[in-house]
Structure 1
Amino acid sequence: MNHMFPIFIKMSEISTLIVGGGNVGHEKLEAILKNSPNAVVSVVSIDFGEALLDLAKDFPNVTLHKKAFEFSDLDPHHIALLATDDYGLHVEIQKEANKRKMLVNVADTPDLCDFYLGSVVTRGDLKIGISTNGKSPTLAKRMREFLEDALPNETQQLLDNLRTIRDKLKGDFAFKVKKLNDITQQVFDKKE
């Protein structure tokens, strides 16, 4: 059973550290920036792959530090994503980061993770996170593709309309919830 608690983080209001500038570091940075283009991210690595360099150049809140990792690199950050091929280094960083009350994700090592990066479906303001509890990123990817095909292209228009209706509704909280539930149920009844 998946006991993970899903949250959506305002990545522009915290600071994230990625350790590793190769393919996996690029994958982690790309996932963050795809969902949060204004995320504040520092990447520490002795070397950077071309793909990561190419991606980072278009995002002013991404800072690259071409150097060996030091524990002091953790200081200004809230989250650390570890993306090197050095398991021993990951273990050391994870222990130190946890002492500092930081959340840590270690690429392909679920036992060292405080959180996982799931697959994400986005339609305008609607965002759906998918987690397999670290067991199968491939299944999460397939579920994302399925939901992307299933969600109507008019999702943003529906959200905007519901927001307008919600803002105009009079009555107490319970009335508003019931009314919005009735309206959204009508939308899904039309699909059948």
Structure 2
Amino acid sequence: MNTLFPIFVKAENLHTLIVGGGYVGLEKLTALLGNSPEARITLVAPEIRDEIQKLAQQHPKLQLIQEPYHPIYLSDKDLVIVGTNNRTVNHQIQADCKSQRILVNVADTPDLCDFYLSSVVKKGDLKIAISTNGKSPTFAKRFREVLEEILPDSLQETLDNLTAIRTKLKGDFVQKMEKLNEITKVLR
């Protein structure tokens, strides 16, 4: 049973640490910046891919530290994403995060994760996060592709129209919700 509680965080209000400068670190960094281009991110790794170096030139809130992980890098961090190929380092980072009550995701190691990174469908302001409870990121990716293909690009116009209607509605919360439910009933 999937007991995960889905949330959308305002990553631009957090300071995220990514540990790992290889392909996995690049993948996690790209996903984070793709959803929150203004996110404040520190990436730490002894070796950092050229693609990550280029992203740092385009994103002033991305700081690169080309050194091995040290617990000092957890200072003032809100989230940690680990993408190294060293199990010992991964376990150490997870333990350090636990001791400081920092949420951590260790790539490809569900047992060490406090949260999972979802596969995300984006259509304008609409975002749909897909999780398989850590069982199959590949399935989540394929399902995202299916949803991206079937959801119309005109959804943004629908969302804008609903926002305009919502701001013009009179009454209390319950009355507004009843009216919006009536309007959106066609989506069933």
| TM interval, short-chain normalised | over 0.9
Which amino acid in 1 is paired with 2:43? V
* Pair 1:84-2:84 in alignment: yes
Shift of 1:54: 2.0
Structure 1 distance, partners of 2:119, 2:55, is 20
Paired amino acid for 1:162: L
Q: Secondary structure at the match of 2:13?
A: coil
What letter matches 1:46 in structure 2? P
* Matching of residue 38 in structure 1 with residue 38 in structure 2: yes
The reply to whether residue 103 of structure 1 matches residue 103 of structure 2 is yes
CA distance, structure 2, for counterparts of residue 114 and residue 141 of structure 1:
21
Residue 27 (structure 2) pairs with residue 27 (structure 1):
yes
Deviations 1:141-173 (A, max 9, x none): 111111111211111111110011011111222
Higher mean C-alpha deviation, range 44-53 or range 113-122: 44-53
| TM-score, normalisation: structure 1 | 0.95
2:67 and 2:126 mapped to 1: Cα distance?
Answer: 39
Aligned to 1:67: 67
Partner of 2:157: 157
Q: Could you say what secondary structure the match of 1:8 adopts?
A: coil
- How far, CA to CA, are the matches of 2:17 and 2:27 in structure 1? 14
2:54, 2:107 → 1: CA distance?
21
For the pair 1:113 / 2:113, whether they are aligned, the reply is: yes
3-state secondary structure, aligned to 1:63: strand
Please state whether the residue corresponding to 1:12 is helix, strand or coil.
helix
1:137 aligns with 2:120: no
What is the identity, as a one-letter code, of the residue corresponding to 2:160?
D
What is the CA–CA distance in structure 2 between the aligned matches of 1:111 and 1:182, rounded to whole Å? 43
Give me the whole-angstrom Cα distance separating, in 1, the residues matched to 2:127 and 2:141: 15
Q: Distance in 1 between matches of 2:23 and 2:78?
A: 23
In 2, Cα distance between equivalents of 1:181 and 1:119: 28
Query: 1:102 Cα deviation (Å)?
Result: 0.2
Residues 27-65 of structure 1, C-alpha deviations (whole Å, 9 max, x = no match): 010000000000000000111111222222211110000
Q: Secondary structure at the match of 1:42?
A: strand
State how far apart, in whole Å, the 2-side matches of 1:138 and 1:69 are: 28
Give the Cα–Cα distance (whole angstroms) in 1 for the partners of residues 149 and 124 of structure 2.
14
- Separation in structure 2 between the aligned mates of residue 137 and residue 55 of structure 1, nearest angstrom: 24
- Residue range with higher mean Cα deviation, 165-174 or 126-135: 165-174
Aligned-partner SS, 2:12: coil
TM-score w.r.t. the length of structure 2 is: 0.97
Q: Distance in 2 between matches of 1:56 and 1:135?
A: 32
The DSSP-based 3-state class of the residue aligned with 1:16 is strand
SS at the partner of 1:129? strand
Q: Secondary structure at the match of 1:57?
A: helix
